[in-house]
């Protein structure tokens, strides 16, 4: 992995934090691919599929929701 790849990964994680925490749903397609799957098998919760699934899962929740804290 080169420096450019590393910076792109860090930028994506930062964008994830802003989109999800700020509920900036107009940018969800910038962070999540159409075939994205959030595998939550280990938690016993259903998987989340694609950008629309992310919006459906988190939209309207006014408290911090349990999601990976990569941006914390």
Query: What DSSP character marks residue 46?
Result: P
Per-residue tens of pLDDT for the chain, all 72 residues: 999 999 999 999 889 888 888 889 999 999 999 999 999 999 999 999 999 998 998 887 655 555 555 444
Structure-block tokens of residue 66:
């349990």
Residue entry with tokens 């962070």 = 31
| Cut 0.75: pTM above it | no
């Amino acid at each position: 992995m080169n420096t450019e790849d590393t910076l792109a990964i860090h930028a994506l994680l930062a964008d994830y934090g802003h989109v999800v925490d700020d509920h900036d749903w107009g940018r969800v397609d910038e962070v999540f691919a159409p075939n994205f799957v959030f595998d939550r098998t280990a938690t016993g919760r259903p998987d989340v599929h694609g950008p629309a699934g992310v919006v459906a899962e988190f939209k309207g929740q006014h408290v911090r929701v349990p999601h990976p804290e990569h941006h914390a």
